Structures are given as C-alpha cells and as structure tokens.
Amino acid sequence: MIITLSITLYIMRRLTLRQFKVFEAVARQLSFSRAATELHLSQPAVSMQVSSLEKIVGLPLTEQVGKKIFLTDAGREVFHVSQGIAAQLSDLQTNLEQLRGLDRGLLNIAVTSTVNAVATDILARFRSRHPKVSIHLDVSNRELVLGQLAANQIDLAIMGQVPDGLGMEATRFMDNPLVVIAPPDHPLVRKKRIPVKSLASESFLVREAGSGTRGAMERFFAARGQEIRSSMEMSSNEAIKQAVQAGLGLGILSLQTLEMELALKRLAVLAIEDFPIMRHWYIVHRDDKRLSPAALAFKNFLLKTSATMPALGPQT
C-alpha cells in the first residue's frame, strides 16, 4: 500500500496541467488533429505531450485501430481525472474573474447557424459597452452545440429549444418563424393561401441532420402525413439561400435571416397555409453552471436588448 502510494505521488508530481489539458482534448475528440485545432497547437506538439504523459504513467493511453483512435483502460482513467481537473480550472477562472470584475472577462459562447446573424449583432452591441471583455464565438449546428454545453466547453449557447432532461436552463428571448422561400420568378410566388399539399411536387434544399431547422421542417410535414422531396443537403443557411436563388429548389429558413435577400428581391416568401412554423430562440447554459460576470452580464444584456428589437413579420 505504501509502495503504491509512493508511486502514485511520484507520478502526480511529474505530471503537468498542460499534459492533462492536451490529453483531455484528445480523449474527448478521439482525434489528435481535432484536439490540435481546438488547442491552437500543431499535431506533432499534441502527440509529443501525450507521449510524455504515457512515459510518466508507464502505460499506453490510446490505441489506433485502422484510422480511428480509442482509449485504453489506462486512458479512460486518466481522462476521468483530467475532466475533473479541467472543471476545477474552469471554476477557478470564473472565481478569479468575479474578483476582477467585468473589466477583464472572457465570454465563451456558441450559437446555432440559424441565429448567427442576430447573435453577432447583439454581441457587437455588448462588446461596445464592455470593450475589455474577450469573446470566443463558435457557430455550429444544434447537435454540436448541445455537445459543447454537455461537456462544459462553453458558458452560454443561443439556439432553439433544448430537450428536457439534459440538465440545461433555457430562457426564451425571441420568436423564430420559419418560412418557405423560392426564387422571385417561381410560379407559386404570385399565389395566395397555397395548400401545403401543393408542395408535394416541389424539391427542397435542406439542412444537414442534427439541424434544428431541419427537425422542425420534418415534424411539420410528418404531422400532416406528407413527405417532401429533398434534392440536396447543405450545411449552412447561406448555401441554401444561394441554391434557391439559382432555382435548384425551395428552402425553409428562419425569416430573421432573410432581411437583405427580401429587400433586394432576390428571394420571395411563399404564402403557404399553416406557415410560418413558429419556433423560438433561447439563451442556454448548464443548470449547474456558475456563470462568470461576463457571461451573466451578456445574458442579462441579451434579454433586455431582444425585448426592444423589432421582429420581422411574414413577407411575400
């Protein structure tokens, strides 16, 4: 027992926080290259840190099968410990920021691509009031943002409604109507009160699996016993806008993202019955998250600012 304890203490003294941080990223991503990108390091630097950690521990922590990386039993043990250390360091940073006040904070936030335009506008207004706050913004789809929240990688997220049971606190702050868009010369543009069944013969450009917009669209048509034809899957709203303008199909997007295209008459909103699909945007964080002064200030600013922002109404 004494020998085992002595070995453990010897190992712990030789380990560094940097090695834990690097290995935690590798173990979570199951990829040396993705961990390197996340940590802004080169892949050889990440490999070297993990190799040094393995030499200290005396056991391999990862194994490669084909092109995939897996954790060994020892790797899973070290990963568990490194996650705890990462959480404690995050809490320490929060506590220190609270002692410093809001002059020197870091706001780590992720948004879904649908809300990006609105979110960046609000972030710019917040930054003008708090210029010393550093902001790290990540734009991803719904599934990835939920993963970042669950892993405590971000302070806040702006996204659609979060499923129950995930341990998240979500506060609604703005409506998010989804509308059907078409090129201005599409035959349906001139029609009013278009039945939903009229869309059965149309091809749609859709977001990727995991997107909140796609999920809402699929639920809408499934509830009416109708299937839509998907001609192409795209990973961004901008790609869908351009493809619709080019006449490759119809799209369903948030009305809040279409202000410029509608003003320039590059796109038109179809007057489909039962549309828009009314969704909402939420500011979300883990319910056990101790928000830093910067994160708390931004949340309060968002809720106050969104109440005075003009909402776009349905347009055709």
Residue 265 pLDDT: 92
Least Cα distance to 136 among 24, 295, 19, 289 occurs for 295
Residue 1 pLDDT: 38
Based on the number of CB atoms within 10 Å of its own CB, is 253 exposed (0-12), middle (13-18) or buried (19 or more)? Answer: buried
Alpha carbon distance, N-terminus to C-terminus of the chain: 76
C-alpha to C-alpha distance for 297 and 102, rounded to whole angstroms? 8
Residue 101 pLDDT: 57
Residue 243 pLDDT: 94
Sketch out the chain's domains with CATH numbers. 2-95 (1.10.10.10), 102-174+280-306 (3.40.190.10), 178-278 (3.40.190.10)
Q: Are 116 and 139 in contact (CB under 8 A)?
A: yes
Joined together, the tokens standing for residue 39 give 């940590």
Q: Which residues in the chain show pLDDT less than 70? A: 1-15, 93-104, 308-316
Residue 97 pLDDT: 62
What number of other Cβ atoms are within 10 A of residue 264's Cβ? Answer: 9
Residue 252 pLDDT: 94
* 3-class DSSP state of 246: coil
C-alpha to C-alpha distance for 248 and 256, rounded to whole angstroms? 22
* 3-class DSSP state of 233: strand
Residue 95 pLDDT: 65
